[in-house]
Structure 1
């Protein structure tokens, strides 16, 4: 079977990114022919050279389309449009695929997949990574009612035309169902994590980091991810400054890049208990999560963000580090039901500070929460299991046509 994959952003474990599809494509390519239509956005951002850029057996067609988190709305729209045009053109030139897997975000990537599927009369599967256009609209990136209505109409048409839909969280699945899509056409496939890479976070690797960065005897709070507009970074910085001033044995690590990097850098310059850590390759990030006593997964208080499926949530639990979440959606339910983390409301630095101070004073409670989270990760978050599910869906929709 020939699978064409439309994904604007391809990464591998040498990149400071989740690399979800690297694992999934590697699994699919063992049984099927896979052609990836993508861009070279991340290729120059590799931090190491330990992994091939493509999994064995995957063919690639890649456009030179720039993109970065700091881009404004106009430049992002241009990037999305350039990739969509390239993807449609290349998708029509490919040797006939049997099925297309279209991965949003952005929504334009899924649109390109749908266009090629329609014109080549083949089924396509729609992976919903974030709720578009709800997310950019909530962030104020779509100012006119006309544009918003057009995007919502496009979204619904894509749900209807797809043979199957793969949302990345239970809350996304509920949202898609609320658009009138039958549940039999939807399968939740969590973002998940790479348990083989999590196993690299050995006690020796953690001890090396602790010594190298002068963290011996310190309790560690970690935020690892994008410093984006949606991540509520100003609240984290405020909480961090309050916490480390009151508890000098605590160090808060901010690892990543993004829009709010200057804010984090300034806080680290004036406060010794705050450290800015450069982005790490995928295969190395797990040791940092293992080093931490607790990690924070934060977003703005917007209903659309409650549905998201952040990689850092899975990565932290996979190495036995409990999490504090600020979403009110399914991640809050999971950490409370499984006793593997805590909830603090978004935008409230004082409550977050007090919660962290309380749980950091109870090492046994932290350890118990971490152990429970790791069991959940092994049972539910393994990307190899997720890849098997996706492969079965792609094969099934192909057989039905």
Structure 2
């Protein structure tokens, strides 16, 4: 079969390599992995020319990297910080990606729609129907439910019901819907999606790239002045779905301890507010660092002795924080702030890789931090848990089987 005649797997997502976004990195892992492992299908990405952290970036309109064909469409460039501007970015991506998909898709191809921007599955479903192609939804979150829980005004009342009905129609049309957790899969079943159209494939991290780095061999510990400190870390998006009040209260309770510091790496909508609160409370034990390059991720994640993850309980079954998998890959325990019967809580309990606390339970959080301060060497099994459950190799093989 000539290369031009091979069926295509076409992924649609607003961001792609190179990027700081964890879900974009997983798409990168999967696309390159499938391209390496398959000689029967060609792998294509329809994405924007922006970067997650730089709306002004102008990446090439088309290039081939490691046998993956990357089609970058033109969009507006307002960025993530302004909601109205983000809406225009979404709209322009919908229109441009539709035109590109119509030109690219042939009968028998498979369109894999992620969830950035929201409702992109509607565009993919329309093209799949017009072109007699297959549709797969890779659900990193469930919209409009997430927006409704975060108080977005347009995601309420009649608009909410309409958006949800349209979304569900694309789920019914799909050949397969990939949920990233068991609770999300159960929620899809409650929406009436047939069980044979639902599969669970957990998110992952790259076991080849990410590995534990001992403190004595970690240049960032020296560069950031953290030698001899016990570091409580947070790495990733400081977004609206995460609780930082409990974290800052714990930092305030421990601010007289000069041997314990809080390190927040990343950015997001809540970063300015968190920085302002630290300034007002005089929390000199909280250090902020920007997103780190992917090649330094092992070092940046390994700087911490224990990592913090939070998710508002109302968002359980709608989102699973992807930072969790990279933390396990570098062999660090976690303190999860959220629902005690949630997706991550169950994994943590079942595999003894951390602690779970409720929001606003500052006293328990301080207790858990002190526990890990006193037992910082007892983390040997965490990397093994990661390799057996959440490795890139296993996830790519699972996706490959599902996409056949």
Q: What is the TM-score normalised by the length of structure 1?
A: 0.88
Ranges in structure 1 where 5+ consecutive residues have no aligned partner: 47-52, 396-401
Q: Secondary structure of the residue that 1:115 maps to in structure 2? A: helix
Alignment of 1:99-178 (within 5 A): 99-141=110-152, 142-178=154-190
Query: Aligned pair 1:343/2:356, yes or no?
Result: yes
2:8 corresponds in structure 1 to 2
Change (3 A) 1:143 1:24: closer
Paired with 1:156 and 1:134, the residues of 2 have a C-alpha distance of: 12
Q: Which residue of 2 aligns with 1:202?
A: 213
> 1 CA distance for matches of 2:195 and 2:305?
39
Secondary structure (helix, strand or coil) at the match of 1:100 reads strand
Aligned to 1:352: 365
Separation (CA, whole Å) in 1 of partners of 2:78 and 2:122: 19
Structure with the higher fraction of residues in helix conformation: 1
C-alpha distance in 2 between matches for 1:85 and 1:297: 36
Shift of 1:67: 5.9
User: Which residue does 1:299 correspond to in 2?
Assistant: 311
Matched residue, 2:32: 26
Tell me what 2:399 maps to: 390
The answer to whether the Cα contact below 8 Å between 1:11 and 1:43 also exists between their aligned partners in 2 is no
1:354-369 matched pairs, under 5 angstroms: 354-363=367-376, 367-368=377-378
Is the contact between residue 16 and residue 282 of structure 1 (CA under 8 Å) also seen in structure 2? no
CA distance in 2, matches of 1:110, 1:374: 35
Q: Alpha carbons of 1:248 and 1:234: their partners in 2 closer, same or farther (altered >3 Å)?
A: same
Q: C-alpha separation between the residues in 2 aligned to 1:45 and 1:85?
A: 21
Q: Check 1:383–1:2 CA distance in 2 against 1; reply closer, same or farther (3 A cut).
A: same
Structure 1 range deviating more: 286-295 or 152-161: 286-295
Structure 2 residue 93 is matched with structure 1 residue 83: yes
Extract unaligned runs of 5+ from structure 2.
1-6, 56-62
Give distance in 2, aligned partners of 1:22 and 1:282. Answer: 12
Quick check: 2:145–2:318 contact (8 Å CA) kept in 1? no
3-state DSSP of counterpart to 2:255 = helix
Which whole-Å deviations, capped at 9, do the CAs of 1:182-231 have from their partners, x for residues lacking one?
222211111111111113x4337843111111111110100011111211
SS in 1 for 2:47: strand
SS of 1:252 mapped into structure 2: strand
The 8 Å contact of residues 251 and 283 in structure 2, kept in 1 or not, is answered as no
From the superposition, tell whether residues 54 and 272 of structure 1 become closer, same or farther in structure 2 (CA, over 3 Å).
farther
Aligned to 1:50: none
In 1, Cα distance between the equivalents of 2:167 and 2:287?
A: 41
Q: Distance in 1 between matches of 2:52 and 2:164?
A: 32
SS of structure 2 residue aligned to 1:101? strand
Q: Distance in 2 between matches of 1:41 and 1:108?
A: 19
Alpha-carbon distance in structure 1 between the residues aligned to 2:201 and 2:78: 26
**Alignment CA distance shift 1:6-1:207 (3 Å):** closer
Greater relative contact order structure (CA < 8 Å, 6+ sep): 1
Structure 1 CA distance, aligned partners of 2:27 and 2:304? 26
Tell me whether 1:251 sits opposite 2:261 in the alignment.
Answer: yes
Structure 2 counterpart SS, 1:230: coil
Alpha-carbon shift at residue 69 of structure 1 (Å): 3.9
Note closer, same or farther for the CA distance 1:379–1:184 as it changes in structure 2 (3 Å cut): same
- With normalisation by structure 2, the TM-score equals 0.88
Deviations 1:89-145 (A, max 9, x none): 111111526211111133321111111101001111110001211101111113541
Instruction: Give runs of aligned pairs for residues 13-92 of structure 1, distance below 5 A.
Output: 15=20, 17-18=22-23, 19-30=25-36, 31=38, 32-42=41-51, 45=54, 55-65=65-75, 66=77, 68-72=79-83, 74-92=84-102
CA RMSD of aligned residues (A): 2.3
More off after superposition, 323-332 vs 348-357: 348-357
Cα separation, partners in 2 of 1:54 and 1:206, compared to 1, 3 Å: farther
CA deviations 1:155-193 (Å, max 9, x no partner) are 210110000110111111111111122222211111111
- Cα distance between partner residues in 1 of 2:8 and 2:391: 25
CA deviation map 1:315-366 (0-9, x unaligned) = 1111110001123211101111111111011243343223222332333xxx
Is the CA contact (8 Å cut-off) linking 2:334 and 2:355 kept in structure 1?
yes
